Chains A and B, each alone.
Chain A
Amino acid sequence: MVRLLACIAAHALLARLLPPWTVPNLTLIGLVQASGSSPGRWLPLSLIAGLSGAMWAVEGAGPLILSYLAAGGIVRGVSGQLDTAEPRVQTMLAAALSVPLTAGWIWLDGHWSWTLAGCFLMHLVMTWCAALLLQRRSAEVSG
């Protein structure tokens, strides 16, 4: 829970400082890490992550919360097959989930352009890099 809240706070801080599409989705990374470590608590964790994003929503707050609930649910489902407490698995899950999550948001907005595709890719790369960095940090702390 603390890890998720720290990630949400860091996400909000970075969003204040950087252009929107260059900010990595730290909320998703925090959600995957927290749900991966305690799969039984995926529902409240996903709700917190969803509500933190929906706070800024103009419209479509419901789908936004649902997208985080789906992400948390997938982590819960995967935890039955893989060791989701393992930092490497968490990084792969965060990287994989960031694609449909961001694509879903763009699809909900209903606007698509090549410029937006570039922004989408930039956002994914930033999220993947942040997930890798946080994985290393987790490995250092636990190792």
Chain B
Amino acid sequence: MVVSEPARQTALSVIRWPFAAAKSAVQLLISLPVLPHLSQERDRLQADLIRQQEELARLREALRQSQQAQLLEAAHPVAAGIVASVIGRSTVPTQQTILLDKGRRHGLTPDSLILDASGVIGRVIDLQPEACLVLLLTDPDSRVAGLIERSRETGLLVGRGSGMCELIYLDIQADIQEGDRLVTAGLGGNFPKGLLLGTVVQVTRDEQSWATRALVKPAANFSRLEDVMCLPRQP
């Protein structure tokens, strides 16, 4: 070898710089005529990207709604329900109501039962052609007949306005304890029997009124309602 290896490497690395600079200059000269097109191309690609991101967001939302609907149908397989989305909520904290995007035109009836995957949410109280107002279980005006799943004791579930409900009209010796699951009693035939309402968290036995009251935590999470299932009232 004429030149030693370290000397050759040093020479090559020094020579590389002017060659690289020359190559960059030639590339720049070549690309000058297409620069305006590149700018247009970049704008087009950015617009494409934004469109695709919007499409992706739409598809994700559609997938989420589909999964929610599947969950609802899996939770209540026998019910021929209508899936609706929550589009509004009461601005008065003592009035616990929500607005759904389905109404009379979609087959809903007054007193239709509203559920989500975890249990009963409430019932329809005001019906419009394209929307309906739902009274949540936690509203003080809400009244639903309940049944303790374990002991078959029945009572009336009333809302307490603070996110909790109370089961009243129970006998002093009623067989009820903390952790018991409360389901719909199906009394009156308006609602199906056995749909989960909530769980008993506290039992109070009052000797004076000879009655028992139970504090019930609703099964549904009312602060995170998106898609729900509506069960029209049974004829």
Question: Which residues in A have some Cβ–Cβ distance to B below 8 Å?
Answer: 8, 11-12, 15-16, 18-21, 23, 25, 27, 52-53, 56-60, 64, 102, 105-106, 108-111, 113, 115-116, 118-119, 123
B163 touches A19 (CB 8 A): yes
A106→B170 CA distance, assembly (Å): 26
Known: A12-B88, A56-B97, A106-B161. 9 other contacts (CB 8 A): A15-B91, A16-B88, A20-B89, A53-B95, A56-B95, A56-B99, A56-B133, A58-B135, A109-B94
What chain B residues lie within 8 Å of A8 (beta carbons)? 91
A116→B161 CA distance, assembly (Å): 7
B163 touches A64 (CB 8 A): no
A-B contact pairs, 12 of them (CB 8 A): A20-B163, A25-B91, A52-B91, A53-B92, A53-B95, A56-B92, A57-B90, A58-B125, A58-B139, A59-B141, A60-B95, A109-B161
B160 touches A116 (CB 8 A): yes
B92 touches A113 (CB 8 A): no
A40→B123 CA distance, assembly (Å): 42
| Chain B residue with Cβ nearest A119 | B162
A118→B93 CA distance, assembly (Å): 13
B161 touches A123 (CB 8 A): no
Contact A23/B160 with A56-B97, A58-B125, A59-B141 known, Cβ cut-off 8 Å:
no
Contact A15/B89 with A57-B95, A58-B125, A109-B94 known, Cβ cut-off 8 Å:
yes
B140 touches A109 (CB 8 A): yes
Q: Of B93, B96, B160, which is within 8 A of A113 by CB?
A: B160
Chain B positions 206 through 235: 1 when the CB is less than 8 Å from some CB of chain A, otherwise 0: 000000000000000011000000000000
| Chain A residue with Cβ nearest B158 | A111
Q: Kindly state whether residue B164 has any CB partner on chain A within 8 Å.
A: yes
Q: How far is the CB of B7 from chain A (nearest CB, A)?
A: 70
A57→B95 CA distance, assembly (Å): 6
| Chain B residue with Cβ nearest A107 | B94
A64→B91 CA distance, assembly (Å): 12
B94 touches A105 (CB 8 A): yes
Q: Of A18, A110, A115, which is within 8 A of B140 by CB?
A: A110
10 closest cross-chain pairs (CB), A and B = A56-B90, A20-B93, A19-B223, A105-B94, A115-B162, A15-B89, A109-B140, A116-B162, A15-B91, A111-B140
B92 touches A12 (CB 8 A): no
A119 touches B95 (CB 8 A): no
What chain A residues lie within 8 Å of B160 (beta carbons)? 111, 113, 115-116
What chain B residues lie within 8 Å of A111 (beta carbons)? 140, 160-161
Q: How far is the CB of B93 from chain A (nearest CB, A)?
A: 4
What chain A residues lie within 8 Å of B90 (beta carbons)? 15, 20, 56-57
Q: How far is the CB of B85 from chain A (nearest CB, A)?
A: 11
| Chain B residue with Cβ nearest A105 | B94
Contact A106/B94 with A18-B223, A111-B140 known, Cβ cut-off 8 Å:
yes
Chain B positions 136 through 156: 1 when the CB is less than 8 Å from some CB of chain A, otherwise 0: 000111000000000000000
Q: How far is the CB of B206 from chain A (nearest CB, A)?
A: 15
Q: How far is the CB of A71 from chain B (nearest CB, A)?
A: 13
